[in-house]
Amino acid sequence: MNKASRDLWLESMGSHGIRVVRANTFFKRLRGLLGRTSLPMNEGLLLEPCSAVHMMGMKFPIDIVFLSLNDRVLSVFTHVPPGWRGYTFPGTHRILELAAGAAESIPCIPGSYLRFQNLKETEKGDFLRVDS
């Protein structure tokens, strides 16, 4: 697996973190979270590059974090319901989709920066954080 498609780790408050899957190809972004019935609190989807998102066809609410090119939080929408028609935010380069309520645990505050780390899978299927 090449570096561009590796999963990422995002620190949150406390001892827990969020495993972030990268959707960095056209088809991965097109599929997004469609077809899923839920998203665990410790998982997220990073759409990159991406400047707009919608909730058409979704089955559960999520938190949506709009990020700049350098991962500065531009805006956060929490508990966005299925069927929401979508939105774009000026300057957005990447969008992080999280389980509803998870953005508060990071915390995602407009103006703050998120720090993602690379993950490396071990032979046992565990994941280790690796500084990028």
Q: Could you tell me which of 126, 125, 106, 124 has the C-alpha nearest to residue 116?
A: 106
What is the per-residue pLDDT for 12? 55
Output the pTM of the full model: 0.82
Q: What three-state secondary structure class fits 127?
A: strand
What is the per-residue pLDDT for 121? 52
**Count of structural domains within the chain:** 1
- 52-88 residue pLDDT tens: 998 888 999 999 999 999 999 999 999 999 988 888 8
- Would you give per-residue pLDDT tens digits along the chain (132 residues)? 334 446 677 765 544 678 888 888 998 888 888 888 999 988 899 999 999 998 888 999 999 999 999 999 999 999 999 988 888 899 999 999 999 999 988 888 999 988 887 765 544 444 444 443
Rounded to 5 degrees, φ, ψ at 21 are -90, 135
Q: Which domain holds residue 78?
A: 3-130
* Distance, CA of 127 to CA of 119 (rounded, Å): 6
CATH number of the domain where residue 90 is located: 2.60.120.1140
Residue position matching structure tokens 């407009």: 110
* Distance, CA of 54 to CA of 130 (rounded, Å): 32
Q: Return the H-helix or E-strand segment holding 74.
A: strand 73-80
Query: What is the β-pairing status of strands 17-23 and 43-47?
Result: parallel
What is the per-residue pLDDT for 16? 62
